[in-house]
Amino acid sequence: MASNIFGIDLGTSNIKIYNEDEDTILNEKNIIAILNKNVFFAVGDEAFEMYEKAPANIKVTYPMSNGVIADIKNMQLILKKMLEKAAKSNLKNGDYYIAVPTDITEVEKRAFYDLVENANVKAKRVYITEKAIVDALGLGIDVTSSQGIMIVNIGADTTEISIVSLGGIVVSRLIKIGGNKFDEAIINYIKRNFNFIIGDKTAEVIKKELANALAPDESSAGVYGRDIVTGLPSELAISSKVIYESISEPLHSIVDAVKVILERTPPELGADIIRAGIYLTGGSSNIQGLDKMFHKETGLKVNICDKPAESVARGFSKMINEAEYRKLAYTTKNLNNVR
């Protein structure tokens, strides 16, 4: 039986796995539930159902933090279970491509490689690839051309701002702002202004429903939480304006970081970016009006795509199936050659 090939994008919030054999993408929460400190209980979306609801003997945690692996043992367990789910068959002898952020240390990069090597999946070969390169392939861009491209991937814990040209990374910066910061800002705003406490999950749901980066509209929605004054569970109506005001500051911090990178970009590449525009990817680029807000702030054309959280996983389908792009992945032997 021919061996299978997988492309893995380990996000702080979600794990995405491209399965070459079936040409499918699995996208689930990157979270695990452990019973009584060491008994595996649940993983992925099933474990997320338990988040903020589980009794004290079930611990539900995210093993990734700020784009890097924070809890190797649990990350390995999640990866193995998710690969089994994605493959629906024997994992033995497979090839694994794993996307890593550029702006992390070589030790942190090697940890991604070691994770797959030691995940008990009997990998034949493990390759590392810069996340922004695969992201660009997922957008349908020929990354090997001399055309400079700016990609801003806004995820959960991080935003990676990269300029790609000739199959390499020219500039890349990973900042610790993403969807989780927006959720946190919403929780703090509601607590401060309404004396009302909501959970992380509720904040994320209301953000997805009402967030608009450019201007609030007339919509509103009810949230359940705890009234600090009475101490009782209660419901509160939240307007789009509240969400807009909450997320405005972290959103502008991302735009400011993009402007700093643009200022440092060599002029010839800057000209390419003016022509092609900025590409927004990552789950948080789903926020309504984000493209218009970036355009207003930078004066540049801004491109968005469908299902932006899966852009890296889609890119793996190109990288794995086209020989000229496969060359852009490397083994740890070449880690020192990373541009």
Q: Which residue has 């003016």 as its token pair? A: 274
Please identify, among the stretches 153-161, 218-226, 295-303, 324-332, the one whose residues bind ligand ATP according to the rule CB under 6 A. 153-161
Closest approach of Cβ 213 to ligand ATP, in Å? 10
Contact criterion met (CB below 8 Å) for 320 and 326: yes
Instruction: Compute how many residues bind ligand ATP; rule: CB under 6 A.
Output: 22
Q: State whether residue 30 is helix, strand or coil.
A: coil
The half-sphere exposure of 116 on its side-chain side, counting CA atoms within 13 A, is 30
Residue of 211, 242, 300, 302 that binds ligand ATP (CB under 6 A): 211
Contact criterion met (CB below 8 Å) for 13 and 180: yes
Please identify, among the stretches 6-14, 17-25, 50-58, 218-226, the one whose residues bind ligand ATP according to the rule CB under 6 A. 6-14
> What's 150's DSSP letter?
E
Identity of the residue, 225 or 282, whose beta carbon is nearer to ligand ATP in the bound complex: 282
Annotated binding residue 160 = no
Distance of CA 249 to CAs 252, 253, 256, 281, Å?
Answer: 5, 6, 10, 20
Identity of the residue, 27 or 272, whose beta carbon is nearer to ligand ATP in the bound complex: 27
Identity of the residue, 269 or 287, whose beta carbon is nearer to ligand ATP in the bound complex: 287
* Residue 286 near ligand ATP by CB under 6 A: yes
Annotated binding residue 49 = no
Please identify, among the stretches 113-121, 150-158, 219-227, 319-327, the one whose residues bind ligand ATP according to the rule CB under 6 A. 150-158
Closest approach of Cβ 5 to ligand ATP, in Å? 21
What's the one-letter identity of residue 243?
A: I
Instruction: Show contacts with ligand ATP in window 58-77 (CB under 6 A).
Output: 67
Query: Residue 240 and residue 218: Cα distance in Å, rounded?
Result: 7
Annotated binding residue 187 = no
Identity of the residue, 272 or 291, whose beta carbon is nearer to ligand ATP in the bound complex: 291
Distance of CA 102 to CAs 129, 140, 152, 284, 335, Å?
Answer: 9, 20, 13, 20, 11
Residue of 7, 216, 225, 283 that binds ligand ATP (CB under 6 A): 283
Exposed / middle / buried, residue 55 (Cβ in 10 Å: 0-12, 13-18, 19+): exposed
Identity of the residue, 11 or 94, whose beta carbon is nearer to ligand ATP in the bound complex: 11
Closest approach of Cβ 267 to ligand ATP, in Å? 30
Q: Which residue has 């419901």 as its token pair? A: 235
Closest approach of Cβ 266 to ligand ATP, in Å? 26
Query: Residue 271 and residue 172: Cα distance in Å, rounded?
Result: 18
Closest approach of Cβ 33 to ligand ATP, in Å? 18
How far from the centroid of its chain's Cα atoms is residue 261's Cα?
Answer: 20
User: Bridge-partner residues for 233, per DSSP?
Assistant: 226
Residue of 6, 8, 14, 212 that binds ligand ATP (CB under 6 A): 14
> What's 335's DSSP letter?
G
* Residue 291 near ligand ATP by CB under 6 A: no
* Residue 7 near ligand ATP by CB under 6 A: no
Neighbours of 118 (CB within 10 A): 13
Instruction: Show contacts with ligand ATP in window 300-319 (CB under 6 A).
Output: 309
Annotated binding residue 204 = yes
How do strand 125-130 and strand 95-100 relate by DSSP bridges?
A: parallel
* Residue 225 near ligand ATP by CB under 6 A: no
Binding residues: 204-207
Enumerate binding residues for ligand ATP (CB under 6 A).
Answer: 11-14, 67, 155-158, 178-180, 204, 207-208, 211, 282-284, 286-287, 309
